[in-house]
């Protein structure tokens, strides 16, 4: 599937955070849900298991799972360090990556999220988005994950983030929006250089959205 635009855009996109709100599953239930995701037909969309540093002792050593370990304001993935709530220029100076929370107590406006994506692009920063991205398109005060992907791929960030249901098309050949198209090579480049992943407490909810839209 290396030349498939769907694979280039969506492979390992969703980091699974089942112990975090709103799911907040206890560790044993969270692991069971993650194992169910790994066994599903769409496991190729599954990224890392996001796990609190405070609960590492409750994670079996033989789980064999790639992790993103979270502390307040910090997320570690192997050698990569993601910083939240830190000025982008400081993140560049520290050789880290940027993280933004798109849901929870404070949801960034379209303008704020657009400025964040644009700022990361201009500085060559890799970013991760988390929280509140359960739906493909904006709904009930939440941003859409397809909109965020389009903002990263095509630019015109504010317009992309505001686009309504049905604005984007995705198949094996390309990801398309408003007369523009990005092929697998371009999409893989964006995933590697700008939008690394999206954290979600649910894996099956965003996957079900993609299925309902006929994109999987």
Domain that includes residue 49, residue range: 5-212
> What is the tens place of the pLDDT at every residue in 16-49?
999 999 889 999 999 999 999 999 999 999 999 9
Q: Which token pair is 83?
A: 């910083």
CATH number at residue 45: 3.20.20
Residues 6+ apart with CB under 8 A from 65: 34, 48, 49, 59
Q: Which pTM value belongs to this model? A: 0.95
**DSSP strand pairing (14-16 vs 46-52):** parallel
Q: Residue 96: what are its φ and ψ, rounded to 5°?
A: -105, -170
Name the domain count of the chain. Answer: 1
Q: Is the pLDDT of residue 1 over 80?
A: no
Banded model confidence at residue 12, pLDDT cuts 50, 70, 90: very high
> What is the tens place of the pLDDT at every residue in 178-207?
999 999 999 999 999 999 999 999 999 999
Q: Which of 56-60, 102-106, 129-133 has the lowest mean pLDDT?
A: 102-106
Full strand arrangement of the beta sheet holding 175-177: 168-170, 175-177, 180-182
> What is the tens place of the pLDDT at every residue in 137-147?
999 889 999 99
The percent of residues above 70 in pLDDT, for the chain, comes to 99
CB 68 within 8 A of CB 51: yes
Banded model confidence at residue 93, pLDDT cuts 50, 70, 90: very high
């Amino acid at each position: 599937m290396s030349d498939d635009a769907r694979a280039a855009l969506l492979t390992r996109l969703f980091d699974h955070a089942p112990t975090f709100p709103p799911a907040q599953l206890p560790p044993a239930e969270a692991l069971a849900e993650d194992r169910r995701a790994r066994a599903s037909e769409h496991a190729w969309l599954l990224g890392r298991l996001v796990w609190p540093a405070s609960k590492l002792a409750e994670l079996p050593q033989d789980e064999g799972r790639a992790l993103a370990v979270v502390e307040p304001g910090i997320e570690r993935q192997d050698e990569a360090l993601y910083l939240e709530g830190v000025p982008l220029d400081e993140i560049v100076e520290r050789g880290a990556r940027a993280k933004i929370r798109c849901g929870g107590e404070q949801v960034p406006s379209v303008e704020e999220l657009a400025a964040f994506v644009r700022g990361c692009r201009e500085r060559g920063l890799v970013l991760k988005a988390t929280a509140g991205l359960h739906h493909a398109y904006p709904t009930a005060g939440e941003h859409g994950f397809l909109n965020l992907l389009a903002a990263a791929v095509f630019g015109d960030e504010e317009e992309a983030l505001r686009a309504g249901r049905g604005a984007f098309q995705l198949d094996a050949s390309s990801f398309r929006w408003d007369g523009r198209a990005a092929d697998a090579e371009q999409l893989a480049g964006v995933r590697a250089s700008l939008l690394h992943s999206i954290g979600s407490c649910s894996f099956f909810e965003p996957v079900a959205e993609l299925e309902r839209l006929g994109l999987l």
